[in-house]
Structure 1
């Protein structure tokens, strides 16, 4: 168990308190490649979730600044998941899983406070899970290395919540570095920071939150994942990551189903785009990545078919306003669009998106610029 001698803890009215912050993320490029053992290139945001853990008299208490009522549950394993509101599973999941794995988790109060917009594709869920896992592990004095922390955060989303995410969001929330995107190999979970020198090139990443909400646990995301797994089975490979660009035409010829062909074409070409963008960034050629960003969006729109009119409208408006490249970011069916723009064009591009939304009869989008920030940390 943790004791008051831990240097990262503080006391409030005699109570030992442990707090961690974990950020949301933007995925620069690499969509739906994570669960195909492929490559992704996300970066951590300034917004995120702070989880604070303290001892409780009995049971487990969960509070959120974004929810009106606290939830109190008896200590148990994962079998208790069905009896609580869905948002609390992101918090209680770590406690349930640790209990099932033989850890005696004492009575605790866990309080969370997030400023990541929900349903925007900025990974509010990973920020929540990662902050809680880090805070709980720290408070209990568990000796969890980086790999064990990552595995637990992914298990919470997959097993306690039931969201079939591939782990990219948790990796960057835990390991992100300021001024860098994180090249993640989703088979080995090896990560490498890659420079994203926006200021040095006079560029900005403009984010347009279309406010067309999505939800990873909905059926469409899971259907894409199952389709990719079925295609890999037919092709006789462990995952679509194992289909090379040179072998793509042959692979497509071996698939009878047009939907599966489209899925394979997106994943294979998206992996190639991720690696190409990483190379360009390593070479200091940030302005040259725009074409790959736009090609990624077209692949998501035409092959993977996960865009909606709001995000397509935002991408078109950004490109018309001078963006070097633009794409939807996140799992799809709504959420945010990013545009890589000269700093001086950001305001006009934002106005262009607002006008395009008004002309189409869509609601007002939310617009902000994003930079690459550090990952999870004690607060």
Structure 2
């Protein structure tokens, strides 16, 4: 593949853009999308930006039958000066390749795909909303497309990138959410696909999520799949707890997704000289910290919500009301600092921001 060679077919008609005060998460999509195909003889090839549209795929395509797929999620933001910013996109490309490796999908050229994303975002830059808390969500994903009903890695794949203007992921915003600790169902185990960003992990979580939603909870807190006692993730987010002035988060163990926001939060807390400890945390230990008053805050971290404070945990018929159900100082400071860096309102001391402009987006 020639470097930065992307064929562009611009849309002849433009879609009507939604009102920014009516944005839902992941319901509306922009005018264009990026596609690239893979085959064994050619490798990754035929990189192109085309009008957003359905595409034809064989009913026997392996992705439908054996779930060989991976995806990523990142955002583009407008700054007050009118610049377009991405937040640590190289980390998403690295994680996409780690997921690829786990699912036996050929690796992508990380620099090339990031360049394609920049070009797509720049082409559809008018879709980036400017209202407070809004952004352009970027969803790269790869599916296996070989028409073959046989359990084996596919020989054909398609990479697609689509864009969606979004508002807040949770209607609660930065206000605390109610979380149910899951004791019956299992999302994944060490040695499984938990550390990869693949659709099967999320499919496995839907039943528990549906049941907890019926009971008025926003998300599920997953415990380990073997002993069902050690904390892993909160729904689609990593999870943190502030206990006696120190911030704890479950150590990466092969079944927990390594979040970009998780990594950023750890770096930011260390920058603030707040002790951060990555270790295995049992629900029993957390409950004891709640009883003795040392559990000060809890929050989830992820690209979609950034920081989501946890005001209530329900575990084995016991309700833990954290920080009187209010957003804690660490949660609010993290949210404010991360979002201000993302939106270009605060200096970035870590080199996290990647600017998208005509000079670096359009290289043909």
Query: Hey, which of these two has a bigger chunk of strand by percent?
Result: 2
Regarding TM over 0.5, the answer is no
What TM-score comes out, normalization by structure 2 length?
Answer: 0.30
What TM-score comes out, normalization by structure 1 length?
Answer: 0.29
Query: Hey, which of these two has a bigger chunk of helix by percent?
Result: 1
* Greater RCO, 1 or 2 (C-alpha within 8 Å, sep 6+): 1
